[in-house]
Structure 1
Amino acid sequence: MPEDIIQQDKARTPPIRLGRLHYAWIVAATGSIAMFCGLGLGRFAFGMLLPSMSASLGLNYTQSGILGFTNLIGYLVAVLLSPLILPRFGTRITGTASLLLIAVSMLAMAFTTSFPLLCALYVLTGIGSGGVVLPMMSVMSHWFFPSHRGLALGLVMAGPGFGIILSGFVVPKLLPISGLLSWQTGWLIFALINIVVAWITFTLIRNHPDDIRLTPFGRVPTLPVKNKKKLERSNVKLLVHLGVIFAIYGATYMVYVTFIVTSMVGSYQLSEATAGGIWAWIGLLSVFSGMLFGWISDHIGRRLGLALAFFFLAIAYLLVGLTDWTLGLYLSIILFGLVVWSVPVIMAACAGDYFGPAAAASALAALTFAFSGGQALGSVAAGYLAEITGDFSISYMVSGIAAFIAIGLALLLRSQQSA
């Protein structure tokens, strides 16, 4: 019997309902815990550790920037390799191995003060982060039908928010232990957490509902289930369209998260302690942003969900770009925190909806590459404009305009085909 027909027959099998917890939710919760380590600790905690690292190692701004950039290099390497590795090893093995790679690199960073070696090790951390993010996001296309896929991806993206909150509370309280500096102690603690989470991931994650004789969770789609294992040429235009939207998000998001604290201290004359406290709210609000907009996109569609997300992002950017009103800053922080993970969640859902579960990982890898390119462009352009103008107001205004352009591009998308 042809494989497509087999998949359609499976789709007609009623999934287990919420009255009895479907294992898909266990997979989603485990993915969230893995993302807590892969992004929350592997990537976002770096900003909290950087001041003490720079002080003890005597790093200048250029070296600090290089160290952060090495993580992005590693992440992009993982993005490029994922379409080759995932089909062979699956999410369970790939995610577990990536978490262990992060743990090993962090352990090594905890016992070195050599800048070149730190850079090399942080490349490995970046590879591990990418090796967690793409598998955990793409596997949701196997475990959930489109009716609940956005909500599930939102749950997965709650993990990094908890990582931001944990690092915000733990890092400032770190003390030197047994000759290790405070930032070295931080890497050691994060490494041990990654080892525990790697064990949890290997124990609970399953690559596909078929592995335990289940069907995906959610309402069975009325259209036939796509099962193409590779991206079709006819979908390249659509992939580029989505990639441009994701690149705009990457550029504007990077401007905001990189420079908003600097703006609070410089333009709004807030103390560093106050600015740090306000920034912590983004981590707290971000825990809910993915689930909120994932649920919204499940109900009104990915196209309108993206447009709504970019509308709120545009307002958040313009509130700090057009005025130095303190209340406007607070409103901007709240809006950004509530929307920050919306676009990645909806994009991951689009990868499954438009291209099918089997090709979701390849599509998401291409989209993530565009997103990363936008991140690099955004931070460089904002820094250049700040050198010319003396602050980041122009960068925020340009980000707001770009977000409105993204709204138009999102509305031009065709309605997704359920997969």
Structure 2
Amino acid sequence: MHDGIIQQEDQGRTPPLRLGGLHYAWIVAATGAVAMFCGLGLGRFAFGMLLPSMSASLELNYTQSGILGFTNLIGYLVAVILSPLILPRFGTRATGTASLLLIAASMLGMAFTTSFPLLCTLYVLTGIGSGGVVLPMMSVMSHWFFPSHRGLALGLVMAGPGFGIILSGFVVPKLLPVSTLLSWQTGWLIFAVINVVVACLTFTLIRNHPNDVNQSPFGRTPTLPVKNKKKLERSNIKLLVHLGIIFAIYGATYMVYVTFIVTSMVGSYQLSEATAGGIWAWIGLLSVFSGMLFGWISDHIGRRLGLALAFFFLAIAYLLVGLTDWTLGLYMSIILFGLVVWSVPVIMAASAGDYFGPAAAASALAALTFAFSGGQALGPVAAGYLAELTGDFSISYMMSGIAAFVAIGLALLLRPQKSV
């Protein structure tokens, strides 16, 4: 069995593409991480830092804040629905590049408006672009990596959004109005420029398949034959639904946390916006390691047990801010959430390749992400409504903790995956 690092070259064949002797799979993974930095880190999670200043200047209530976040997820769902049609035709390279440019255009529009309806419309486009980055960058790893290293590679890709959280946490509180633009509008303008630069990088370095550069996937060759069916089998629908429910629970609970935890820190915990930004940046710093950590763990103990362990830590993080307004509990929650935040998407993406095979991984991941997006869409809206009734987000965090324990039980009911 080869380890994927040294590949035999056939006589008369073009030498495989490498950078400094590094297997090109890792170049693709690193580029995917940079794309995810924009697609999720800036396109989705920077919103939580910009939200307090946006709400103040636009006089938004909790429900309207939830609706604005919901519009992004509508766009994300549109991308999920279209991806099985677009991705096979255009590939990861073209789809990811175009999506990053769409995000840039929508952010540029948001930088020059204070109209709430127009912001909602533009944030739908941002959501479409985010989905158009996430699905290709995650699913292409099933082509580039065998199961032995698939979780670790996906963890590297999911390190990207963490840097987006770090950037927004440190930069957003320091933003100042520029000419007629408010501070949050300046933030969107800066993020738009970054997206254009990363789109150029993505087009330059991403490759759709190892065959494009005369290489084989990285990792240990599987002992069982790799599934090559391009469509999901009907017998796998039950498993897909099972995984989808788990992913929907994660989507709803984590989205409540990332959307409103900064608002809670400023409101319930009476922290300044700058202090809350610094704490938010710590989530980003810790999250850089979360995907790689749990990807590696799931490579060794299996996706089923990896999911259960991840949800256990998520449940504790949610309950720490749901059951008490203790500041130390907030810090403990931040640490736990940061260390585990990208665990579930990484394990789900790896599971799509493991359970359904590399060729069908994109379709399986699209279906799973649809369920995930549905949870994300409902979570912030429900939490915003409950906050209007109760005055804070404690009940929402408590319900998130209970839901996470339900997900642990569902994860343990999964059958162990076979190596594919």
TM-score above 0.5, yes or no: yes
Q: CA deviation at 1:387?
A: 4.6
Out of 318-327 and 361-370, give the one that drifted further: 318-327
Q: Report the CA distance shift for 1:314/1:180 in structure 2 as closer, same or farther (over 3 A).
A: closer
Q: Using the TM superposition, name which of 391-400 and 234-243 deviates more.
A: 391-400
Aligned CA distance change for structure 1 residues 18 and 312 (closer, same or farther; 3 Å): farther
**Structure 1 pair 320/132, CA: closer, same or farther in 2 (3 Å)?**
same
Q: Deviation per CA, 1:280-308, whole angstroms, max 9, x where unpaired?
A: 21111111111110111111111111111
Listed as ranges, the gaps of 5+ residues in structure 1 are none
Partner secondary structure for residue 12 of structure 1: coil
Aligned position for 1:364: 365
Do the aligned partners of residues 296 and 381 (structure 1) sit closer, same or farther apart at CA in structure 2, a change above 3 Å counting? same
Is the CA contact 2:63–2:384 (under 8 Å) kept in the aligned structure 1? no
Q: 1:259 to 1:42 in 2, by over 3 A?
A: closer
Contact 1:149 1:349 in 2 (8 A): yes
Residue pair 1:45, 1:164 contacting (<8 A) in 2 also: yes
CA distance 1:268–1:181, shift in 2 (3 Å): closer
Alignment deviations for residues 61-101 of structure 1 (CA, whole Å, 9 cap, x no partner): 44443332221111110010000000000000000111111
Superposed CA offset, 1:340-386 (max 9, x none)? 11001100100111111111111111111111222233333434444
Query: Shift in Å at residue 17 of structure 1?
Result: 12
Residue 403 in structure 1 maps to residue 369 in structure 2: no
* Percent identity over paired residues: 91
Residue by residue, what CA displacement relative to the aligned partner does 1:222-241 show, whole Å, maximum 9, x if unpaired?
01100111111000000000
Q: How does 1:100-249 map to 2 (within 5 A)?
A: 100-249=101-250
- How far is 1:145 from its partner? 0.4
Residues 329, 106 of structure 1: alpha-carbon distance in 2 compared, 3 angstrom cutoff: closer
1:384-405 deviation per Cα after TM superposition (whole angstroms, max 9, x unaligned): 4445555433333332222222
1:115-164 deviation digits (Å, cap 9, x = unpaired)? 33332222111111110000000000000001110011011011111011
Query: Alpha-carbon deviations, 1:203-236, whole Å to 9, x = none?
Result: 1000000111100000111011001111110000
Q: Secondary structure at the match of 1:162?
A: helix
Matched positions, count: 419
Task: Tell me if the contact between 1:245 and 1:406 (Cα under 8 Å) persists in the aligned partners.
Answer: yes
Change (3 A) 1:415 1:265: same
Deviates more, 1:72-81 or 1:326-335: 326-335
In 1, Cα distance between the equivalents of 2:246 and 2:318? Answer: 17
Superposed CA offset, 1:4-48 (max 9, x none): 999999999999999941100000000000001111111112233
Shifted more, 352-361 versus 167-176: the winner is: 167-176
Equivalent-residue separation in structure 2 for 1:166 and 1:335 (angstroms): 20
Q: Is the 8 A contact 2:139 2:362 kept in 1?
A: yes
**Which one is further off, 37-46 or 26-35?**
37-46
> Per-residue deviation at 1:245?
0.7
Higher mean C-alpha displacement, 274-283 vs 212-221: 274-283
Greater alpha carbon shift after TM alignment, 245-254 vs 263-272: 263-272
Determine the C-alpha separation between the residues in 1 that align with 2:206 and 2:141: 11
Query: In structure 2, what is the Cα distance between the partners aligned to 1:90 and 1:10?
Result: 29
**Contact in 2 for aligned 1:16/1:217 (Cα 8 Å):** no
CA gap of 1:140–1:174, structure 2 versus 1, over 3 A, is same
Q: Which moved more, 1:379-388 or 1:31-40?
A: 379-388
Give how far 1:330 is off: 1.8
Q: Which moves more between the two structures, 209-218 or 41-50? A: 41-50
Describe the shift of the 1:387–1:216 C-alpha distance in structure 2 as closer, same or farther (beyond 3 A): same
Equivalence for 2:310: 309
**8 Å CA contact 1:7, 1:225 repeated in 2:** no
Q: Residue 251 of structure 2: SS of its match in structure 1? A: helix
Cα 1:263–1:107, aligned 2, differ >3 Å: closer, same or farther?
A: closer
RMSD (Å), alpha carbons: 4.1
Distance of aligned partners of 1:329 and 1:45 in 2 relative to their CA distance in 1, 3 Å threshold: closer
Q: Separation in 1 of the partners of 2:111 and 2:19?
A: 44
Q: Does 1:4 align with 2:4?
A: yes
Quickly say closer, same or farther: Cα 1:241–1:46, change in 2 above 3 A: same
Instruction: Please give the alpha-carbon distance, in whole angstroms, between the structure 2 residues aligned to 1:2 and 1:274.
Output: 50
1 CA distance for matches of 2:52 and 2:393? 22
Preserved CA contact (<8 Å) 1:15 1:218? no
Q: 1:86 to 1:115 in 2, by over 3 A?
A: same
Contact map agreement 1:7 1:227 (CA 8 A) in 2? no
Moved more, 89-98 or 361-370: 361-370
Moved beyond 6 Å, runs of 4+: 1-19
Which has the larger displacement, 48-57 or 333-342? 48-57
Identify if the C-alpha distance between structure 1 residues 168 and 249 changes in structure 2 by more than 3 Å, giving closer, same or farther.
same
Query: Contact 1:39–1:163 (CA<8 Å) still a contact in 2?
Result: yes
Q: Quick one: structure 1 residues 17 and 174, their matched pair in 2 at CA, closer, same or farther if it must change by over 3 Å?
A: closer
Using the TM superposition, name which of 174-183 and 351-360 deviates more: 174-183
